[in-house]
Structure 1
Amino acid sequence: MTDISVGHWSLTTPVIDADRLPEIAAVDVLVVGAGAAGVAAATVAGEAGARVLILEKYGFAGGAAVAGMSGTICGMYRASDSGAAPDQVVYGFTERFAGELRHRGGLTAPQKYGKTYTSAHDPLKWRETADALLTGAGVEILFHTDVVGVIKDADEYQGVVVASNAGLGVVRAARIIDASGDAAVVARGGGAYRFGANGRIQNPTMFFRLGNVDLPAFWDAWGEDTISPAWVTDRIREARAEGMELPRDKIWMFDTGRPNELLVNATRLIGEGGRVLNVIDPADFTTAEVRGREQVRAYEAFLRQNIPGCRDVFVVDTGVEVGIRQTRTIEGIATLTNDDVVNARKAVDGICRSPWPIELHDGERPKLHWILDDYYDVPYGTLVPSSGENVIVAGRCLSAEHEALASARVTAQCFEYGHAAAQATLLSLSTGRAYRDLDGREVATRMIAEGSALSIDALAADKEEVRR
């Protein structure tokens, strides 16, 4: 039994008598969570002929990208000081999903974001794209369903206990992909995990969409970069000194592709006295939601009063939940380190490239470290828990140090983690090998065959900058 305390709560994993509960399904692959990683994993595994079931607590796919309205596909393009055009380095399932969104008119052209670029998506079209991919792959979908327990035999994960308005039931699976973002399956199964740096995790945020914007007047004043210019930061500080609750000096505004609308990332959600909010704890989650809505209204008022083109704006909506950057991070058989990211290290078992900066929202001021004209590789072993069989993770709960995760957690990479987890699962099922016994280069080879941009070079192991 594992007992991990968070606030006034503890996570206890009891022995479950699964025989006393109805069996909902028995599948080859169970995917928990239908965010970017989960949709990629389920689609790829389903298209390969596996029987796949995906579970999602909401009534739609999208995770933080849709429920949290993070709203952009970050992590596709290199950063540079040269002012060059967008240089894409991440493809595979990421590009496939982005292409489907473009086809539906649900993805903007790349927008300038500091030294790099990102594209904004339409959240409804994101859901519809995911629906089409999952159903087209023959994936069974259960929305409005939560995992509340894990079925294990010794060290082997054999299924989960699920809860819905219909009651409790059991799903048995040969392999489980934990794409919950929170390592929900691994944690409930007694697997090792941590919260950031000694309990400090990144702040959640509440995104919102702003309507009735005079976009030509706005962009003429704001400039090309979606990150706020210096004069806006100065005005925020002046307004805060006058009593407005505007905790962030730098705010981000994205064109959504809809008429007269912007996507805004402006809030910083912390507890009393600057305490970090851990949204695994429902009390902290609630505080974040309430304070988030308060800050949204404060920034709406600020924008009306100070920013050209925003005089008559209104808040269209916020996310279904606050945007979550970080909760649990598993202990994996490999760990992405802060040095790996800063030094743009390549890995012979790399299953994903990432050119995204370290964008650490931890405390009063964010930290930003750019990876210029380069990228690092995320090793396969970061997806494999240090203990437990038949389970692999995909998404922001991969094994990474605190600052490294602040780079590796974004949407483009999460699509590719799901792609990698699916290919590893198919290999594990077909060969009978455990996830930990697979060579990441085998996984990468299969991903390359499906469009991912990766480098497999056995000789690279002899190079100083490359590590397993």
Structure 2
Amino acid sequence: MRPRLDQWRPDAVHAESVDLPCLADVDVVVAGAGAAGVAAATVVAESGRSVVLVERYGFAGGAAVAGLSGTICGLYLASDRAGGPQQVVRGFTERFRAALAARGGLTSPQRYGKTWTVAHDPLMWRETADDLLTAAGVRVLFHTAVTGVLMDGDHHRGVVVESAAGRAVIRARRTIDASGDAAVVTRAGHATTFGDHGVIQNPTMFFRLGGVDTDAFRAGYGPDSICTPELSERILAARAAGADLPRQKIFAFTSPRPGELLVNATRLTAADGRMLNVIDPEDFTEAEILGRRQVRAYARFLSQNVPGCETSYVVDTGVEAGIRQTRTVVGAERLRNDDVLTARKRPEDGICRVPWPIELHSGDRPRLHWLLDDYYEVPYLSLVPATGEDVIVAGRCLSADHEALASARVTAQCFEYGHAAAMATLLSLEKATSYRNLAGSDVRSAMTRNGSDLE
């Protein structure tokens, strides 16, 4: 019989004095080397503090690279007015964007509905992260997973890690959970929520399509990366004829590589029709297998129906299915749906601007709610768990309502959440105080001095 998810034990709390080899005793340990983790580790280390970054894959990038999400969304305002892209998010985000562009790993802005985005080369993303982390003096442990936490009462004192070498501990004065899944917070027993009453956004399997005549493709597909209604009708017709094409509104971006597209088309649900829960390894496995099959179906459809794709072929899929949402921490404060819908500004404690729409991936087509010519700001305390000391989160597991998270979770913002977590960590260490006792205005000011566009 298939085990229920609640039969797994995510908690793994160990006393600070646990008898395991100690790999490092540092100021800060960062769990996860996605956009948020790279930003957090780099910024903290550049201040002179000692940092260990733990990552289960052999490279940095998280959802952007392993999941092949492939775009830096959330940089630009949305608008119905004529004109080009208007960037409103900078800070570490802009620093990484510029470094990636300098090595030829980023496209110019591409139209995405009412806004813009840029597509990146996943290998160059990894190399850009490698260079930043190395130059900052971060000690990076790839091929290493966090399996437990060290606790002294309510205080986090580090993590337990495992690799092919065995099990060990990393002792740290502060912990940044940039895992995306709230892996540290959950293992410590702090509260989390899970989507909309247990239902999360659909995972997807991104893929790269090579052998494309991109000029002919753009002429036939149209100037927008979101497909036309006419192409959606063709997908519906092919589905009715038996093709495995469950999503009719698809996205296709030109890549920095000649003759290549990055395609976001699949919709992954279980074979029995239920929503997949990618925290559950059996569901995650099903998503991977079904995703690769669906990629082939969409690639065949594109080759048969879209100019420029006649001789195209699948270059690769993501290392893992693209994950949009899993656990969300219960924070000292929560980003609310109304904060997004009213474009709420937070001059007292806002640590990141978000112009990205509410983009809910459920059902056979994504649902978009645009924020036109405006943005909202994310409160600092949405990164601080409601319980526990000396731990902060960065990335898509921030405390947010379901719909709000569908806007706030994207890559440009994840870089800035990592930036915010780093600045809060430096202030917490300097002042010898807890994260929740820091003034959000102090974190905001520190980020502004370090390049974030918050004034």
TM-score (norm. length: structure 1): 0.95
- Give the Cα–Cα distance (whole angstroms) in 1 for the partners of residues 45 and 13 of structure 2: 32
CA contact 2:11–2:186 (8 Å) conserved in 1: no
2:437 pairs with 1:437: yes
Shift of 1:366: 2.3
CA 1:16–1:165 in structure 2 vs 1: closer, same or farther (change >3 Å)? farther
Secondary structure of 1:421's aligned partner? helix
Q: Deviations over 1:137-176 (max 9, x none)?
A: 0110000000001110110011111000000000000000
The 8 Å contact of residues 83 and 115 in structure 1, kept in 2 or not, is answered as no
Structure 1 residue ranges (4+ consecutive) displaced by more than 3 angstroms after TM superposition: 14-19
Name 1:297's counterpart in structure 2: 296
SS of the counterpart of 1:346?
A: coil
Look up the SS of the partner of 1:290 in the other structure: helix
Q: Which residue of 2 aligns with 1:191?
A: 190
| 2:18 corresponding residue in structure 1 | 19
Are the equivalent residues in 1 in contact too, given 2:13–2:151 (CA < 8 A)?
A: no
Alignment correspondent of 1:458: none
Equivalent residues in 2 for 1:212-251, closer than 5 Å: 212-251=211-250
Report 1:389-408 matches (<5 A).
389-408=389-408
- Gaps (5+ residues) in structure 1? 456-468
Shift of 1:278: 1.1
- Is the deviation greater in 56-65 or in 341-350? 341-350
Write the distance in 2 (CA, Å) between the matches of 1:57 and 1:162. 10
**2:324 is equivalent to residue 325 of structure 1:** yes
2: CA distance, partners of 1:138 / 1:444: 25
Question: What letter is aligned with 1:424?
Answer: A
- Which amino acid in 1 is paired with 2:93? T
Q: C-alpha separation between the residues in 2 aligned to 1:8 and 1:212?
A: 46
Q: State the AA in 2 paired with 1:388.
A: G
Quote the offset at 1:362 in angstroms: 2.5
Segments of structure 2 that go 5 or more residues without pairing to the other structure are none
Which aligned pairs between 1:56-71 and structure 2 lie closer than 5 A?
56-71=55-70
Tell me if structure 2 keeps the 8 A contact 1:274–1:364. no
Is the contact between residue 200 and residue 362 of structure 1 (CA under 8 Å) also seen in structure 2? no
CA distance in 1, matches of 2:328, 2:28: 22
How far is 1:275 from its partner?
1.4
Tell me the equivalent position of 1:52: 51
Q: Where does residue 420 of structure 2 map in the other structure?
A: 420
Shift, 1:102, TM fit:
0.8
Give the drift of 1:9.
2.8
Amino acid aligned to 1:311: E
Q: Which residue in the other structure is 1:35 paired with? A: 34
SS at match of 1:28: strand
Whether the aligned pair in 1 keeps the contact of 2:359 and 2:407 (CA below 8 Å) is: yes
Pairwise CA distance, 1:413: 0.1
- CA displacement at 1:273 relative to structure 2: 4.1
- Secondary structure of the structure 2 residue equivalent to 1:404: helix
Residue type of the partner of 1:185? V
1:201 corresponds to: 200
Aligned pairs for 1:457-468 (under 5 A) are: none
Residue-by-residue CA offset, 1:373-393 (whole Å, 9 max, x unaligned)? 000000001000000000000
Q: How many Å separate the matches in 2 of 1:367 and 1:117?
A: 17
- Cα drift, residue 274 of structure 1: 3.0
Residue 71 of structure 1: how far off its partner (Å)? 0.2
8 Å contact from structure 2 (residues 394, 417) kept in 1: yes
Quote the residue 1:388 is aligned against: 388
Equivalent-residue separation in structure 1 for 2:20 and 2:450 (angstroms): 39
1:12 alignment partner, SS class: coil
Verify the 8 A CA contact 2:74 2:117 in the aligned structure 1: yes
SS in 1 for 2:310: coil
Q: Distance in 1 between matches of 2:8 and 2:52?
A: 30
Structure 1 letter corresponding to 2:250: I
Residue 351 of structure 1 corresponds to which residue in structure 2?
351
Give the percent of matched residue pairs that are identical in Structure 1 and Structure 2: 64
1:371 pairs with 2:376: no
Q: Which amino acid aligns with 1:78?
A: L
Distance 1:206 1:53 in 2: 31
User: Do the aligned partners of residues 234 and 342 (structure 1) sit closer, same or farther apart at CA in structure 2, a change above 3 Å counting?
Assistant: same
Distance in 2 of aligned mates of 1:6 and 1:195: 13
Give the distance between the partners of 1:121 and 1:314, measured in 2 at CA.
19
Q: Deviations over 1:365-413 (max 9, x none)?
A: 4221000000000000100000000000000000000000000000000
Decide whether the 8 Å contact of 1:144 with 1:164 is kept in 2. Answer: yes
Aligned partner of 1:145 in structure 2 is 144
The alpha carbon displacement at 1:18 in A equals 4.8
SS in 2 for 1:27: strand
Question: How big is the alpha-carbon RMSD for the aligned residues of Structure 1 and Structure 2?
Answer: 1.2
State the secondary structure of the residue aligned to 1:260.
Answer: coil
The question of whether the paired residues in 2 share the 8 Å contact of 1:274 and 1:363 is answered with no
Deviation (angstroms), 1:364? 3.8
Matched, 1:161 2:160: yes
2:87 paired residue number: 88
Give the C-alpha shift of residue 215 in structure 1: 1.0
1:19-66 Cα shifts (integer Å, max 9, x gaps): 321001010010000000000000000000100110000000000000
